[in-house]
Chains A and B, each alone.
Chain A
């Protein structure tokens, strides 16, 4: 059931995201920057909130007037800041909800990712608490509605001696101290929220906390335009003798408040509790079946730290050497964080299929999908490709290329394949061209696999693809599983290009290598046998 929902959600996201990819480009696609945009809007809310506090009066009689004053008498700075504060808060809710839904859709909340998911649940509560306390401060009719409904909800809990709601039923029952308390809450809760956001990203390597500058500038401009077009306004002064019968609700922060009129407060609490519990337990409903974590072979590890650098999950750290080899450090894998993506295998300088040890070994490897097995699969797959241009696919199991049937080697992440593997395939004439087929560029399942592969093949990141490898025989295709047609189109185009280049020359014959017999070099067309 959950799997079906996830599948449909993923299809939905892919259907929406790809047009965004085309307009914004993968680097600027806002749907791929939800977490970073969340942080960005948080800071806008924080800065605008500090600015508004300069004008705000915490007196019971002066709170509403001070908000009106800053909104109307100082419209073009404080008024705009109020709209920034309001709409950025709403956008924060939108980012949070979409972010959660997207991580669920792409199945990036189970396994080693449970920590980020679980720590995201308190963030939802803290965000709502921050927003709702803010609405009280304006002290307009909406504030009265929020105050009454919130306190009635809280009064259901057997915590408070006297019903809090009694404070909001008659004039004179409320003092200015109440506003001081609410200001304190509206400052303190967001601080806890920020702390929770920090914990949320603790286990993530290279978390994106800032959106790309262009996206940030465009978002700020759009926020300014919306603030001028539809400034955030109050809804009339509180009158405790009259019920706030009709209010313009903020449907992002207060969507559950109308439920209190339909259900009992106990039922609303039960629903919130059940929803929170379900969210918290989702990483284990059901748990992700995980391949065995990567293991370090100290005999082949020189402590270069590239695996620790490239791991997207902070699962590898460098520790003091425990053997007699003359290196200061060695890699150590935290099994509870490792998702067996294989990116570390691709980053290890020992991971070269040319190695002539009796059994191909590397410094760090996956027990269930070793480098040796990868090389064997590559050689076997290369033996099956036919045609004028023999194309071998190194395909990510989460991307559009995974569905191919011929000449494909599927890997957990394309970054598992070291650049030397491509060198090996082309250098030995196992294929005439190599396609590296990964996830959609803005939706890499293992976060950094696309980026690392691009940088390695471009010679911008260790381990580099050697200069001798002909770049015109390599193509990277980044597609989601939905983009089968685009994948087929790009593959066909590349096949034509390789066909025009002619067959790859086996410059490094396999005779002395440890590869299987299936990887016999192909003689160039017209060459003497």
Chain B
């Protein structure tokens, strides 16, 4: 009998410990963005133009190359950085020059940024410069968007069609 009581006490203690673990297994709840907010995500993977155009090699230059690697054109691999801006109702949310990826700098530029924004209506403008031009933008999209609470609003860019996508 004493043994049974002892085991009951042991069980009670273990049960108490395990119950504590079960409680903290999903409580207290966590809120990652403020109440009444939505999330705007700016993300794309896009390669800008090459830094320089292909150049035709002269006969001497071609002769200097190993016989199995001779070519008539020299095309530099490196890409330009992409300049991108995202505005919400005139407020700059993001503006940055995105370098190309890769050791040789020949990969696409990429971005993934997340912003918590109070829900509401906004004029969303996304702009991108991916060529050699110094001023202005090569791609732009502007739209009036209504963000509801907890919405994930994604600003993406499709390289194939060369346009921003809002979804």
Contacts and interface: CB of A to CB of B under 8 A. Distances in A.
A246 B36 CA distance: 12
Contact of A226 (B13, B18, B156, B167): B18
B152 interface: yes
B112 A166 contact: yes
A145 B22 contact: no
Contact of A166 (B14, B21, B31, B43): B43
B7 A258 contact: no
Contacts of A222: 11, 14-15, 17-18
Most buried by A among B17, B22, B112: B22
A86 B25 CA distance: 8
B21 A24 contact: no
Contacts of A90: 21-22, 24-25
Nearest to B107: A161
**Interface range on chain B: under 10, 10 to 19, 20 to 34, or 35 or more?**
35 or more
B93 interface: no
B18 A223 contact: yes
Summarize B's interface: helix, strand, loop or mixed: mixed
Contact of B14 (A142, A145, A218, A257): A218
A153 to B, nearest CB: 12
**Interface range on chain A: under 10, 10 to 19, 20 to 34, or 35 or more?**
35 or more
A223 B19 CA distance: 9
A96 to B, nearest CB: 13
A221 B11 contact: yes
Most buried by A among B38, B150, B156: B150
Interface in B6-48: 6-7, 9-11, 13-15, 17-19, 21-27, 29-33, 37-39, 41, 43, 45
Given A86-B25, A162-B45, A28 B10 contact: yes
A322 B112 CA distance: 69
Given A161-B107, A249-B30, A230 B43 contact: no
Given A163-B112, A241-B152, A258-B30, A87 B25 contact: yes
10 contacts: A90-B21, A166-B43, A169-B43, A221-B11, A229-B19, A249-B29, A250-B25, A252-B21, A252-B24, A258-B32
Given A170-B156, A226-B21, 9 more contacts: A23-B10, A162-B45, A223-B18, A230-B23, A242-B150, A242-B152, A245-B150, A248-B27, A258-B30
